[in-house]
Structure formats: structure tokens, C-alpha cells
Amino acid sequence: MEQQREQWSSKIGFILAAAGSAIGLGNIWKFPYIAGENGGAAFIFIYLICIAIIGLPVLIGEILIGRTTQLNPVGAFKKLSGSSFWSAIGGMGVIAGFAILSFYGVVAGWSMGYFVESVRGSFFDYTEVSGVGEHFNSLTANVFWGIGFLALFMFTTMIIVYAGVQKGIERGSKILMPVLFIILLILMFIGISLEGSSKGLSFLFEPDWGNVTGHSVLVALGHAFFTLSLGMGAMMTYGSYMSKKDNVPVAALQIVFLDTIIAIIAGVCIFTVVFATNQDPAAGPGLIFQTLPIVFTQMPGGYLFSILFFLLLTIAALTSAISLLEVVVAYFVDERGWNRHRAVIVFGSIIFLLGVPCALSYNVMSDVKLFGLNFFDLIDFIASNILLPLGGLFIAVFVGWVWGFDKVVVTLKEGAEKLFEKHAWLMPTWKIFLKYFAPILIFIVFLSSIGLLG
């Protein structure tokens, strides 16, 4: 019996789910510290340009492929091109889904574990960043802690995806995303109200062009891409549950807007508290797990702040993880005739098993190295630096050059007739960005991220 493919029940359901995918550890953990390291406001300005000239055009293309074909990435490329080369590009996305979720789940598990630590008040045992750093090392050195929270996180992700597109992903996003916004706003107000917070605000909003280098531009480009969940068919898969009546460019713009505003507010939350307590803003990747907990012990209301903060981080990671698992599930459901429940249980478990060596990279397997990288870093490198940029490059090339631009124009206008009538410049502009700017710029990012450029 052929089952009817599910669709979002509402426009806002799609927007929140897709924004949920985009808003993740990238926004709350990575964006603030790379903005901090690369000149604050000056970097944000460059980042916004990157979002506009490659992020948005590629996002529109990715959603459009999904909506047009109503299929997973492999099926979508097969249907539009009939070629096995392009199906393989879709397949690369499915593999990237496995890979990204296996290490993303580990960090998401830490966030969950840190939520528990916050509730227990563990950080109040320390007065020095080094103490919290050791606390972090001893937690991650504990095999059961890392794997336990990875399992719990994966299990939560699987429950939501198991329940389906409308009853699981859409309903989950409609609850989780507003909670995320509210927590973030509360944290922002607490942060701004602290004495000395204005130093944090000027750090974030006063451009310091002196710290911007060619490398900063590459970082901004690469991040613009990762933060919008582009390049592996996540947005394509979510787009495949969209109706032809929905407006793709407007939806894409809303997703980009939400993703960007959340990243900036997260920056405000973090740097106001970091500066108010005189911590080092350039602490880099350790900022969240090693510096912030000390900050919490030194600020008024820190106990509550820390609980809310790690809840926020967990929710953000969860709505992203859902989209990663859904890509894998959609492929097995559409192309291999699996039922959703079985696909979720089997592939959720396989991804968990792949996550285990990632978690073990912080303890018993820390000496197991390939190309000088431990398992965690190796999977991260392959996915983020190779599969995603290549995937994004091919998506831009496909929409711009292979699909047939006449057909692209017709399908993009569906649901957006008035928009393109009113703003005649939009279509030609999008075309130029997608055909020329995006592929060239993504290629440059690719070369740089595999180490061939600056």
C-alpha cells in the first residue's frame, strides 16, 4: 500500500522547523567566539554580506529542489537529472547526515550533561577557570558520562523523528523554538543589566577593522554556510514537505533572519557576562564549557542563568539533530521503501554507535589517530570541510547550470508570483549570485578548508 507523503500542516511549522535546523551549536557556541576573534562588529558586517550573497541564494535553491520533487536528496536529484552522478551527490548528503550527527550528538550530549551539572550547582565548587577546565576534562574522561548523555540525546532526537513530520518535527519545533527565543531574551536582559556589560556590547558592536584579515573573510563565508545547514540536503528534505502554494524566497528570508538574529543575541548574552566578570573573550572553542561556568558563579543570578543557558544550548542542538536524522530517514523511506519507525530505530542506533568512538576520542581512544586527527576531529573534518562545501557547490551548480534555468524560474515563481511581479530585479539577481558568485566563493572556501589556502 502506497502511503501518502506527509506535509507541514502550516507555513509557520516549516519556518520554525527549518529555523530550528539552522539555529544550533553553530549559532550559540561558534558564532560568538569567531566574531570575538575576528574584530566583532567588522566581522559581523562581513558575515552578513556572505549570508546575503551565498547563504540566501543557495538556501533558496536547496529548498526549491526539495519542494519541486517532494523527495529526499537522492530521489530529488535522480528525478530532476536522471543521472547517477547527481544521485550520488544526493547520497553524499545522506552520508554527511550520518557523519555530522555522530559528532554533533557528542557535543549535544555534553550540553545535556552540563544542564544536569548546572542544576546540581557543580560549578560553584570552583573559583578559577582552570578548575572548571579540569572539571570538563574529568567529565569527558569519564566513558559513561560521555556515552550516557550521547545515548540520552540520540534517544530524544529519535522519539521526535519517530513521531513523524507533523506530529514530531513540526510539533516539537513549535514548542521548542518559542522556548528557545524566550530563554534567549531572558538571558540577554540579565546579561545587559550586569555592571560592566557595556564593554561586552562595544566589543561586539564597535567595528575593529584591525582584526579583520583575509582569513576572517574565509571564516565568515564558511560559517554562513554551516549555520544555515546548507550543503547536505537538510533544507532540501524539509522543503520536500512544503506545499507548492508556499513562497520559497520569503520563507528562506525568514529562516535567514531568525538564524542571524539568534546568533547575534547569543553573542550579546555571552559577551556581556564575559566582560562583566573580566574573563577572556577570545577563549575560543572552550568558551562555553570552560569559561562560562566560572562566569555563572560570579554573577548575580548565575545559578538560574547557567541552568537556562545549558537548556537553551540543548534545545538548539536538538532541533538541528532532528533535521540531520530526518535526511537519513527520508532517504530510506522514499528510496528503499522502509517504514519510518523502523528507519528511525535502525539508523538512529547506527548513528549512536558511530558517535561512541567520537565520545571515546576524549578518553580511551584519544591516542587513536588517523592523519593526525582523533576520530571525532576526523569525522568533523570530513563532514564540515569536505562533504558540506562540495555538496553546496554542487547544489549551486545544479540549480544554476544543470536543471535548466527556464524550468527553475517557473517552479520558483509558484507561490511567489506577486513577489517576482513587483520586484522584477529579484530573479536576475538571484540567478547571477547562484550561477557565478556562489560556486566560485564556495570553491574558495573549500580550498581553504582543506588547507590549500590561507
240 dihedral zone (left: phi>0; alpha: psi -120 to 50; beta) = alpha
Measured from the CB of residue 206, what is the shortest distance to ligand TRP in angstroms?
25
CA dist., res. 409 & res. 405, Å (int): 6
229 binds ligand TRP (CB under 6 A): yes
Q: Of 87 and 227, which has the nearer Cβ to ligand TRP?
A: 227
Q: Quick one: cell of 336?
A: 528503499
CA dist., res. 111 & res. 107, Å (int): 6
Burial 280-313 (b: 16+ CB within 10 A, else e): ebebeeebbbbbbbbbbbebeebbebbbbbbbbb
- How many residues touch ligand TRP (CB under 6 A)? 15
Binds ligand TRP (CB under 6 A): choice among 106, 160, 220, 234: 234
Measured from the CB of residue 23, what is the shortest distance to ligand TRP in angstroms?
6
Within 10 angstroms of residue 86's Cβ, the number of other Cβ atoms is 21
Q: Of 26 and 348, which has the nearer Cβ to ligand TRP?
A: 26
Measured from the CB of residue 27, what is the shortest distance to ligand TRP in angstroms?
5
Measured from the CB of residue 344, what is the shortest distance to ligand TRP in angstroms?
17
3-state helix, strand, coil in the chain (%, to 5): 80, 0, 20
Q: Partners of 238 in the beta sheet?
A: none
Question: CA torsion sign, 47 to 97 to 357 to 320?
Answer: positive
Please list every residue from 102 through 161 that binds ligand TRP, using CB under 6 A: none
Measured from the CB of residue 230, what is the shortest distance to ligand TRP in angstroms?
6
220 binds ligand TRP (CB under 6 A): no
Select the span of 148-156, 293-301, 316-324, 445-453 touching ligand TRP (CB under 6 A): 316-324
Please list every residue from 386 through 415 that binds ligand TRP, using CB under 6 A: 388
227 binds ligand TRP (CB under 6 A): yes
Q: Of 222 and 357, which has the nearer Cβ to ligand TRP?
A: 222
Q: Of 59 and 212, which has the nearer Cβ to ligand TRP?
A: 59
Binding flags for ligand TRP, 8-27, as an x/- string (CB under 6 A): -------------xx-xxxx
Binds ligand TRP (CB under 6 A): choice among 237, 260, 291, 320: 320
Measured from the CB of residue 92, what is the shortest distance to ligand TRP in angstroms?
12
Q: Of 220 and 232, which has the nearer Cβ to ligand TRP?
A: 232
226 binds ligand TRP (CB under 6 A): yes
First to last CA, the chain: 55
CA dist., res. 246 & res. 241, Å (int): 11
Measured from the CB of residue 15, what is the shortest distance to ligand TRP in angstroms?
15
Please give the DSSP secondary-structure letter assigned to residue 370. B
CA dist., res. 139 & res. 120, Å (int): 14
Binds ligand TRP (CB under 6 A): choice among 99, 158, 204, 232: 232
Q: Quick one: cell of 319?
A: 532541533
Q: Of 109 and 302, which has the nearer Cβ to ligand TRP?
A: 109
CA dist., res. 423 & res. 418, Å (int): 8
CA dist., res. 49 & res. 224, Å (int): 9
Which whole-number Å values give the CA distances from 63 to 97, 224, 230, 351, 406, in the listed order?
17, 16, 10, 25, 17
Which residues form the interface with ligand TRP (CB under 6 A)? Answer: 21-22, 24-27, 226-227, 229, 232, 234, 320, 323-324, 388
